[in-house]
Amino acid sequence: MENQTVFGNWGGSYIPEILHQTFEQLQDEYLKARNDPHFWQEYSDLMSTYSGRPTPLTYAENLTRHFGGAKIYIKREDLNHTGAHKANNVMGQGLLVKRMGKKRVIAETGAGQHGMATATMAAKFGFDCTIYMGEVDVQRQRPNVFWMEKMGATVIPVVDGSRILKDAINEAFRDWVSNVDTTHYVLGTACGPAPFPEMVSWFQSIIGMETEKQIKQQHGKPPARVYACVGGGSNAMGIFQGFLGNSDVELVGVEAGGKGIKSGLHACRLCGSDASPGVAQGYKTMFLQNSDGQMLETHSVAAGLDYVGVSPILADLAEKKRVRFESATDSEVMQALDLTMKMEGIIPALESAHAFVQAFKEAPQLSADEAIIINQSGRGDKDIFTIAHAFDDPSWKKFIIAIAEEYNR
């Protein structure tokens, strides 16, 4: 994967002319960085001293016993600084921003993890920071909004469209065209116009590089299958790149099944048959859209997977049948989360829990001398309100009511 702007039938750069020059500059800096071995060294040093990398690969002994099939390993991106894989991309882009001499960063965020990571990077590198976040997501990921603001970022709730991730991306682009000279848009996933899909995947490849070594050390051979949830596709691209060259390793992307793939309330772009080729948000991929090309509403309990498009690189890998795509429903996700917390003492983000669901379905079919890896893209702390609500937790409710009364006094 060397400096591609188009991936099979997908990708490209469909941008307003006003951004043309800035994309040339970005493309330039990105290529310079890629060809400069010191850059990757600087990046991986930063990730080890600031972000706690390499993150561990954990053998989930109890889950393995429970399912009685393949050995289950979990790649722990939840232990990355800011609690998700998002920081890998953000710190990398932060280093590029320094090289480009820009002083302000903006970002979209769904789950708030990318916004969190961007606010963190901006605080560390001394940039001004504005985060766009759909109003619906501001509500469901409130803890992340709090921390972003505390780190000095301005969080702007987006009230247009479906008020979720895609709308935040549109708003970030509108800011960018207005402030292109001073501002870099830190796109949070492997989507958007080139070079973002490839560049974001490159920074995220640190996950796959680590995992490939770790599984060999711990298990003695490559895994049979690797599972990752797919929103825009950055954590999936990250871990898959450790194994793309080995055709014995099956790669499985898990999309948001929402209320079920037949309900229409989901975000399945590469599994199921509701999506079709389109061009929006600067790139060509499979979009959930109607026959006129208007984007549809998507649904997922996980804000980070609740998106109409998907990485053009994954659209290509799906078409080439290198990656298999499956989906997990909201309710399956809650069960997998519950089980993982109880058996392993690990709290996956709602997004990540989608990958767990599919791995749990398939583990029993594989023999005990095989290993499977689940990419735990993030930690579930941010989801405390959503998860508590889904579990209808009585003591949590009592606590919230008491706090509300205190503030009302």
Partner 1 sequence: MVKTMILEEKLRAQLQQKDILLMTHIVLGYPSFHVNRQVIAQMVGNGVDCIEMQIPFSEPMADGPVILKANQDSLAAGTTVKQCLEFGAEMTAAHDIPFLFMTYYNIIFKYGEEDFFMAAKAADIQGLIVPDLPPEMSPDFFRFAKTSGIAPILIFAPTSTNSRMDELNTSADGFIYCVARRGVTGAQSEFDGEFDSYLNRCRAATSLPLAVGFGIRDSEDVRAISGRADIAVIGSKTIQLVDTEGVEAVGPFISNLR
User: Interface with partner 1 includes 273 (CB under 8 A)?
Assistant: no
Residue 90 phi/psi, 5° resolution? Answer: -65, -45
User: Interface with ligand PLP includes 82 (CB under 6 A)?
Assistant: no
CB 316 within 8 A of CB 7: yes
User: Interface with partner 1 includes 280 (CB under 8 A)?
Assistant: yes
Window 158 to 187, contacts with partner 1 (CB under 8 A): 160-161, 166, 170, 173-174, 177-181
Catalytic residue among 108, 171, 210, 326: 108
DSSP string, 35-81: T-HHHHHHHHHHHHHHS-PSPPEEE-HHHHHHHTSSEEEEEEGGGSG
Indicate the residue among 150 and 174 with the shorter CB distance to partner 1.
Answer: 174
Classify residue 348 by its DSSP letter.
B
Binds partner 1 by CB under 8 A, chosen from 65, 146, 293, 403: 293
Indicate the residue among 16 and 364 with the shorter CB distance to partner 1.
Answer: 16
Largest Cα–Cα separation, the chain: 63
User: Interface with ligand PLP includes 339 (CB under 6 A)?
Assistant: no
Q: In the structure encoding, which two tokens stand for residue 184, read together?
A: 């870099």
Least distance in angstroms from the C-beta of 7 to partner 1: 14
The HSE-up count of residue 344 (CA atoms within 13 Å, CB side) is 23
Binding flags for ligand PLP, 150-189, as an x/- string (CB under 6 A): ---------------------------------------x
Window 366 to 405, contacts with ligand PLP (CB under 6 A): 377-378
Distance, in Å, from the CA atom of 86 to the CA atom of 104, rounded to the nearest integer, reads 19
Binds partner 1 by CB under 8 A, chosen from 282, 312, 348, 378: 282
Indicate the residue among 77 and 167 with the shorter CB distance to partner 1.
Answer: 167
Omega within 30 of 0 (cis) for the link into 54: yes
Binds partner 1 by CB under 8 A, chosen from 1, 18, 368, 401: 18
Window 225 to 244, contacts with ligand PLP (CB under 6 A): 229-236
Instruction: Check if 86 is active-site.
Output: yes
Instruction: Check if 108 is active-site.
Output: yes
Q: In the structure encoding, which two tokens stand for residue 241, read together?
A: 């790149």
CB 226 within 8 A of CB 243: yes
274-277 LR contacts (CB < 8 Å, sep 24+): 277/9
* Strands laid side by side in the 276-280 sheet: 6-7, 10-11, 283-287, 276-280
Least distance in angstroms from the C-beta of 375 to partner 1: 29
Cα distances (Å, whole numbers) of residue 190 to 112, 213, 225, 235, 403: 16, 24, 22, 9, 40
- Which partner from the list ligand PLP, partner 1, none does 377 bind, CB cut-off 5 to 8 Å by kind? ligand PLP
- Return residues touching ligand PLP (CB under 6 A): 84, 86, 110-111, 113-114, 189, 229-236, 304-305, 349, 351-352, 377-378
Residues tagged active-site: 86, 108, 377
- Return residues touching partner 1 (CB under 8 A): 12-22, 160-161, 166, 170, 173-174, 177-181, 276-282, 287, 289, 291-295
